[in-house]
Structure 1
Amino acid sequence: MHILIIEDDLAIAANLYDFLESRGHTVDAAVNGVAGLHLAVTQRFDAILLDLGLPGMNGMTLCRKLRQESQIDTPILMLTARDTLEDKLAGFEQGADDYLIKPFALKEVEARLLALHKRHAGKVANRTLEFDKLSFDPKTLSIRFENQNVKLPPKCIRLLALMMSEPGRVFSREELEMEAWEDVQETSDTLRSHMHILRRALTKAGGYDPIETVHGLGYCLTSRVQIPE
C-alpha cells in the first residue's frame, strides 16, 4: 500500500515510517496539517494515518476538508491520545474510518490499515464512477459520455477509470503507466498513444475533450476544457 503519515511527533512518525516500510509499504510523511493536506490532495494514497493534535491545522479540520471540500475518500485511521467516546464520535463525524488510541502496537496499526484498504477497494471496485456528463460502470465496463456509448480498448478504460476516481487531480505519467501496465516498463510514447485514442473517442462521443494535459506533470480530468474547431 501507499500510506501517508501525518504526525507531528517525530519519534512516533519515525517508528511508523520504519515499520511500515519494512513491511513492504510505500510511505510518505508530513509533520503538520497544512503539508499533510497538500500531500493528500495532490498524490494518490491507499490509506492515511492522521494525528489529531497537529500544528498549522488540526486533524479534525484536515479530515473534514479532505472529505467535504476535496471529495477524497481515501481511508483515514485517526491516531490520538484522546480516548473519550465524544472524541471518537467527533472523529467519525468528520469522516474518519477508524480510530486508534495511543500508545498502540505497530502490528495493530498495519492490520487496521489493511482491513480499511480491503473494505475500501471492494466498494470502489463496484462503484459506478460519474463526473460531469461522463460515467463508467466497472461491472459492465460500459462508458457513456454526453449520453453516448464510448467504446475503448482495455488499457484506455483503465486510464480513464483512474482519472475518474479523483477528478481534477493531476495524475503523473508514472501513475498512469503503473495503472495500465502494472510493472511493465512502457515508454512515454506508448502512454501518449493510448491517451490520444482515449481523448479522440471521448471527443467523438461528447463533442469535447474532458482530459487536460498539465505540461511536465501529467493529465487530469476536468470540466469542458477543449472545444474542437
Structure 2
Amino acid sequence: MNNQSLYILVVEDQQSIAQNIANYMEDKGHVLDFATQGDQGLELALTNHYDLVILDLNLPVMDGLEVCKKLRKQARHHVPIIMLTARDSIDDKISGFTLGADDYLTKPFSLEELEVRCFALSRRHLLQTNDTLIFDQLCIDRKRQQVTRSGQNLELHTMGYRILTILAEAYPQVVSRSKLSQKLWGDEPTESDALRSHIYQLRNMLDKPFDYPMIKTMHGIGFLLNVESHVKSDVINNDK
C-alpha cells in the first residue's frame, strides 16, 4: 500500500490491543514505541520526534484528554494525534478535537484502517509544514505571508491572515472559537465581538468575490476551511 515507514508512539494500557497494533504495524515496517500510562506517554512524546501518536483515552495516572492538552501546550512542534477509544459519542469526539486531536478512531477498529489513517495524517502534517499550502483555488505562501485565490492577490489584514492560516493548518478539522481565540490572543482578554469582526472582514476578502465560501461556520462548535478540492500538490519544501 505504501512503502513509507512511520515512527509511531502508542499510548495504550490494554496489553492485548497494544500487542495487536505492534504485530501488524511492525510487520509493515513501522517503528513503534509504547507507553502504558498517560504521564509516560507525554514524556516520550515531548522528548522524541514521532511521525504521530496513537493515544488511548482511558489511561492510568493521566487520561488521554489531559495528555493531548499538555502535549499541545508543551511540544515545540505539532505532533499529529489519533485518539483511540471506546467512547464514540459526538460530545466525546468534540472534546477530543477541541483539545487538539487530529483524528479519532473508535474501538473495535480495523488495523488496516488504523494504518491508512496513520499514512493520511502523516502526509497531511507534511503538507502543513511546507512553506506553501494549496487548497483548491487558495494558495497560502507562509514564507512571504501572501495569499491568493484563483490567482488574485488578497490584501488581508494581519489578523485575517493569521485566522486563515490557523484554519488551513487544521484542515479538515474544525477549529473551536475558544481555540482560535487562544491562538490569536493567548490568555489576554479581548472584546467578545473581536473574533466575529475579524471573521467578517476575512470573509469579505476571501469569499464574497468568488464562486463559493471557504470559511464555514459550524454552529455551536467553531470554524472550518471549506475546500471543494483537496490539496493539489506538495509544493516548496520547508527549508528550515
TM category (shorter chain) comes to: 0.5 to 0.7
Residue 139 of structure 2 aligns with which residue? 135
Cα offset, 1:145, TM superposition: 0.8
Residue 201 of structure 1 aligns with which residue? 205
Residue 83 of structure 1 aligns with which residue? none
Cα offset, 1:56, TM superposition: 1.7
Cα offset, 1:152, TM superposition: 0.8
Q: CA separation of 1:39/1:13 partners in 2, compared to 1, >3 Å: closer, same or farther? A: farther
Residue 216 of structure 1 aligns with which residue? 220
Letter matched to residue 36 of structure 2: I
Residue 109 of structure 2 aligns with which residue? 57
More helix by share: 1
Could you say what secondary structure the match of 2:226 adopts?
strand
Structure 2, unpaired ranges of 5+ = 1-8, 16-34, 47-61, 73-80, 229-240
Give deviations 1:132-183, integer Å, cap 9, x for gaps.
1111000111101122110111111111011111333211011111222233
Residue 86 of structure 1 aligns with which residue? none
List aligned pairs for 1:3-22, cutoff 5 A: 6-9=11-14, 12-16=36-40
Residue 145 of structure 1 aligns with which residue? 149
Q: Equivalents in 2 of 1:186, 1:201: separation in Å?
A: 23
Q: Equivalents in 2 of 1:73, 1:33: separation in Å?
A: 25
8 Å contact from structure 1 (residues 33, 59) kept in 2: no
Letter matched to residue 205 of structure 2: A
Q: Which has the higher contact order (CA 8 A, sep 6+)?
A: 2
Q: CA separation of 1:73/1:6 partners in 2, compared to 1, >3 Å: closer, same or farther? A: farther
Alignment of 1:154 with 2:155, yes or no, is: no
Tell me how many residue pairs correspond in the alignment: 167
Could you say what secondary structure the match of 2:163 adopts?
helix
Q: Equivalents in 2 of 1:30, 1:203: separation in Å?
A: 33
Cα offset, 1:219, TM superposition: 0.6
Q: Equivalents in 2 of 1:163, 1:202: separation in Å?
A: 13
Give deviations 1:71-96, integer Å, cap 9, x for gaps.
7645xxxxxxxxxxxxxxxxxxxxxx
Q: Cα RMSD over matched residues?
A: 4.2
Q: Percent of counterpart pairs with the same letter?
A: 25
List aligned pairs for 1:1-229, cutoff 5 A: 6-9=11-14, 12-16=36-40, 25-26=70-71, 32=85, 42-43=97-98, 45=100, 56-57=108-109, 61-68=113-120, 73-74=124-125, 124=128, 126-223=130-227
Please report the TM-score for the alignment, with normalisation by the length of structure 1. Answer: 0.56
Residue 87 of structure 1 aligns with which residue? none
Q: CA separation of 1:178/1:211 partners in 2, compared to 1, >3 Å: closer, same or farther? A: same
Give deviations 1:207-229, integer Å, cap 9, x for gaps.
432111111000101136xxxxx
Structure 1, unpaired ranges of 5+ = 49-53, 75-119, 225-229
